[in-house]
Structure 1
């Protein structure tokens, strides 16, 4: 009898262990865990452990496969198993990008762990997000995490709570709105409305937490989806298969049920960059980070539900880059600084003539060489204030408004370009070994 019980228990434990390997489970008694994230340019950056190596990943509802970017020795560094070459497609054109698929990898986020995970390593250096964010980002993950767990994203305090569905306790919320999620190829879509060209247009939008803009809409004259009023052509971002360009404009209003926003930023990508995305039936575009961050959200993929509640960012003004400059982090530069700690601010006095009170002054200043971030102009918009001032792509920015850029993060510098119309911007730059100075004023186009 004891032997039979032992065999049954052994069978059940083996069955549970085998079942848990191909899904995320939370290894604590609460079956729930809270994880801090960084909010960088409206994007969620989480600490994800891959095969024992802690990396920074974007939490991106717009991706169906976890992808690792630009690792020269990814097979050795992460010990990827059973690699095979495949091709992936996405925004940036109707092209494919080569990737290395690997199975049976171990992922860990806080106390959530998955023992059998497919990963896709992409070697295209143009897909590296670090230069544009000024922060190392090694990859993106989305569906594989959301499908197994209830994911609560609190943009206000920059935390996510992961809970196993069987242990999730739903709390009533009178100020919340609830949405049904529709899925296509493992990506979530939501219904919304936009006021454009004197029409109220219903929309089917991809929920894209991996995009930093507000709205991307696909032009469709038959239903009235096209830019209205002032606009300008701009670099919009990097897709999986290349850079994306299009027009930036505003919409009078955008609503998600009772949540309504006025004068919302919108981008209309050029059609050649969205060929693959527009093949999805009835898709009108994407809702991205600059709107999503205004809510604290609970995603329940298993029930196809989303709960949204206003947070402290809800009434934040919709602004945009008025300078025309797209910055990138381009490695490090050397900076020579006075070493105060070693007595650099001291002077020594030596008497030169014993009979006369004649002294010489000798500086004891010491210097230290430090490595600081190098910020370069990666894109510059035609006819923009920066372009008209004479700034160029590859200019290295040394100071902004009289302060060395070493004092700022990339995000802090970019925020200056989003300030009010008429703000003066003074730049000291290096071009071809020459130091140059430029001044321009932010100009509101929209």
Structure 2
């Protein structure tokens, strides 16, 4: 069974700006449209067309308005106009970030279309998801979709279905659980139960499909929400207002009515990083992708409900990166590869009986230079096996356990670090033009 879990987290919490706009409508008789998505690090990446240009967007229940990462220079291509400068605030202990607000844009998702859409373009290079996902992501979208449709998310088959509420018909489902939603600043919250040190604690969590972690909890001694002595400190990800750090650990049980997840991953973010989130005093944390993906989900904002049905991911074990390495795509590098070309000579060039039904195979082995992805170390956890072995931020991993990394996706390479404790990892890296070898064993981080 794969033990693939998150290693990056992106949480964007924007204010409800309250701008009056139109709604999405579906341009077909069924009033329903199906969209295929990619599931990368527990995050849903969907195609979104803006002003006639198709881009890749993260689907995030925690974001109020569509955001474009404008450092990608897409604003000119999209013909974004009618802009004004505003400041947005979110997770992280930094300052508000500057953004351009653009009005009257046209959005299309499958057969769903919306006119006069506001878009926010942000230039902060730290909000570039592409290197960490190994896949281009141009922006984030959320509340506009969930407000207008009943949204089915089929994590197991990688598709999204948007249906206009008046056209939707629920199917009977004995194996489903339906939970009520509550809203604060147009964002969905759910009441569930966690068990920490054998104590059952009711908690209110933001449903955050834009976070790849499983569960975030805000420490509160009076409620019994605390990390205890079994944890490790880690980088949790980038928020809209800067980096987020905190503790990682496990909880005994996460209960969503009858659905029970044992030994679930949990992160306890530092208070300085979540001051903005704590404005909602009743909020105790977030429920994110590594839990949500274990269900096929129906989100119905009109009825304020979420329906869950277990899928093939449900029994996937929770685990952590046992190397301490976080990788990101870092451009490309030239790789020398063998180019085997098979040449055939006509049988007429051979003599007598040897020429009958004979074909001479000549393998002309040559080398070619190809551009391949480079995977660089961007974070190393303190006191981790990788740090103790001498690896450094900026090292480019060339081979892992004698396999060339450029032959695999970023996610396939990272998957090796989530294997069982005790597994031997051998790395060959490029450090400023010098090839070095390192070796260590995976260790449980706490």
Superposition TM-score, scaled by structure 2 size: 0.89
- Pair 1:373-2:373 in alignment: yes
Instruction: In structure 2, list runs of 5 or more residues that go unmatched.
Output: 1-20, 344-362
Name the residue aligned to 1:386. Answer: 386
User: Offset at 1:364?
Assistant: 5.9
Distance in 2 (alpha carbons) for counterparts of 1:29 and 1:247: 50
Q: Which residue number corresponds to residue 85 of structure 1? A: 85
The residue aligned with 2:295 is: 295
Corresponding residue for 1:130? 130
SS at match of 1:219: coil
SS at 2:399 equivalent: strand
Residue of structure 2 equivalent to 1:220:
220
Distance in 2 separating the partners of 1:197 and 1:278: 24
For 2:24, the equivalent position in structure 1 comes to: 24
Match of residue 418 from structure 1: 418
State how 1:267-286 maps to structure 2 within 5 Å: 267-286=267-286
3-state SS of 2:303 partner: coil
Query: Are 1:103 and 1:119, in contact at CA under 8 Å, matched by a contact in 2?
Result: yes
1:183: how far off? 0.9
Aligned-partner Cα distance in 2 for 1:101–1:118 = 7
CA distance in 1, matches of 2:201, 2:215: 14
Q: Is the 8 A contact 1:196 1:251 kept in 2?
A: yes
Separation in 2, partners of 1:173, 1:81 = 47
Paired position in structure 1 for 2:51: 51
Deviation at 1:438, TM superposition (A): 0.5
CA distance in 2, matches of 1:235, 1:71: 24
Q: Between Structure 1 and Structure 2, how many residues are aligned?
A: 409
Structure 1 equivalent of residue 118 of structure 2: 118
Structure 2 match to 1:141 = 141
SS of equivalent to 2:148: coil
CA deviation after TM superposition for structure 1 residue 198, in Å: 3.6
Cα distance in 1, alignment partners of residues 188 and 364 from structure 2: 64
RMSD: 1.6
Q: Does 1:36 align with 2:36?
A: yes
Taking the aligned partners of 2:291 and 2:229, their CA distance within structure 1 comes to 21
Query: SS in structure 1 opposite 2:145?
Result: helix
Q: CA deviation at 1:73?
A: 3.2
1:365 & 1:316 partners in 2: Cα distance?
44
Please give the residue correspondences for 1:299-338 in structure 2 after superposition, counting only pairs within 5 Å: 299-338=299-338
Give the drift of 1:433.
1.2
CA distance in 1, matches of 2:384, 2:122: 34
8 Å CA contact retained: 2:340, 2:364: no
Which residue number in structure 1 is paired with residue 190 of structure 2?
Answer: 190
Distance 1:81 1:312, change over 3 A: same
- C-alpha deviation, 1:229, in angstroms: 4.1
Contact 2:72 2:138 in 1 (8 A): no
Greater shift in the superposed pair: 380-389 or 239-248: 239-248
Q: 3-state DSSP class of the match of 1:251?
A: strand
Q: Which residue of 2 aligns with 1:153?
A: 153
Name the residue aligned to 1:10. Answer: none
Q: Does the residue aligned with 1:422 lie in a helix, a strand or coil?
A: coil
Distance in 1 of aligned mates of 2:296 and 2:162: 14
Paired with 1:84 and 1:73, the residues of 2 have a C-alpha distance of 17
Relative to the length of structure 1, the TM-score reads 0.89
Higher relative contact order (CA closer than 8 Å, sequence separation 6+): 2
Which of 21-30 and 168-177 deviates more?
21-30
CA distance in 1, matches of 2:272, 2:190: 24
Greater C-alpha radius of gyration = 1
Question: In 1, Cα distance between the equivalents of 2:135 and 2:72?
Answer: 18
Query: Secondary structure of the equivalent of 1:80?
Result: coil
Q: How far is 1:74 from its partner?
A: 3.5
Q: Distance in 2 between matches of 1:23 and 1:425?
A: 52
Q: String of CA shifts for 1:320-360, please: whole Å, max 9, x gaps.
A: 111100101011111121221376xxxxxxxxxxxxxxxxx
Match of 1:163 in 2: 163
2:398 equivalent in structure 1: 398
Query: How far apart are the structure 1 equivalents of 2:32 and 2:75?
Result: 32
Q: What whole-Å deviation, never above 9, does each CA across 1:89-123 have from its counterpart, x for those lacking one?
A: 11112520111100111111111111111000000
Any idea what the Cα deviations from partners look like across 1:258-317, whole Å, max 9, x if unmatched? Answer: 111111110001111111111112111101100000000101111211111111111110
- 3-state SS of the aligned residue for 1:339? strand
Q: Is the 8 A contact 1:228 1:249 kept in 2?
A: no
Query: Aligned partners of 1:325 and 1:313: how far apart in 2?
Result: 25
CA contact (8 A) 1:70 1:128 kept: no
Is the aligned partner of 1:265 residue 2:243? no
The SS at the match of 1:153 is strand
Distance 2:239 2:273 in 1: 9
Question: C-alpha distance in 2, partners of 1:221/1:197?
Answer: 13
